[in-house]
């Protein structure tokens, strides 16, 4: 299986959104029922992905096998907190690899390509958020040199 990683184009928009919806559905079912499944194809969701694909501050990568998109990663430059002295910051915002292609190095290839993109932007720090129950994602990020920084707690009223 030969996996190719490349930057997404507007022609890939719908497929990226379809994969993002799969991510939302998984997260909604397993971790966070508050996720709005209609967001992905809403005007706001579509604008978000169009911006990430077309703007210099955004990065949407796709993984393909035999010209079929099997995964994606979306991220971009973000503003650091004004109260911290940080270099340029990027955030890995969302990513998904189809079930049948997981644990085959596809996520690592997407991640490495994102790291290369970050280097071209002179990024000094990369952030990622993961649902606290998503142990596989957290393990992946920790294995790739991410360290715990903040812990966000929520309470329902």
- CA 18 to chain centroid, in Å, comes to 14
Token readout for 11 is 């022609």
CB-based contact 76:59 (threshold 8 Å): yes
Token readout for 133 is 């129950």
Separation of alpha carbons 129 and 141, rounded Å: 10
Token readout for 137 is 């994602």
Three-state DSSP string of 116-145: HHHHHCCEEEEEECCCCCCHHHHHHHHHCC
Separation of alpha carbons 104 and 141, rounded Å: 16
Q: Domain 4-143, what fold?
A: Aminopeptidase (3.40.630)
> Quick one: angle between helices 43-54 and 13-30, nearest 10?
120
Q: Provide the residue-wise pLDDT of the chain in tens; the chain has 157 residues.
A: 799 999 999 999 999 999 999 999 999 999 999 999 999 999 999 999 999 999 999 999 999 999 999 999 999 999 888 888 888 999 999 999 999 999 899 999 999 999 999 999 999 999 999 999 999 899 999 999 999 988 888 888 9
């Amino acid at each position: 299986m030969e996996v190719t990683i490349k930057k997404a184009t507007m022609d890939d928009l719908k497929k990226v959104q379809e994969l993002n919806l799969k991510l939302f559905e998984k997260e909604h079912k397993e971790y966070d029922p508050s996720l709005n499944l209609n967001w992905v194809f809403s005007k706001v969701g579509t604008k978000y992905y169009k911006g990430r694909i077309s703007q210099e501050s955004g990065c949407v990568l796709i993984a393909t096998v035999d010209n079929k998109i099997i995964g994606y990663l979306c991220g971009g430059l973000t503003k650091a907190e004004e109260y911290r002295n940080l270099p340029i910051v990027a955030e890995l915002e969302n990513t998904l690899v189809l079930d049948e292609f997981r644990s085959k190095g596809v996520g690592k290839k997407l991640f490495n390509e994102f790291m290369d993109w970050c280097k071209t932007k002179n990024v000094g720090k990369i952030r990622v958020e993961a649902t606290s129950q998503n142990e596989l994602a957290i393990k992946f990020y920790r294995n790739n040199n991410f360290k715990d920084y903040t812990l966000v707690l929520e309470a329902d009223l």
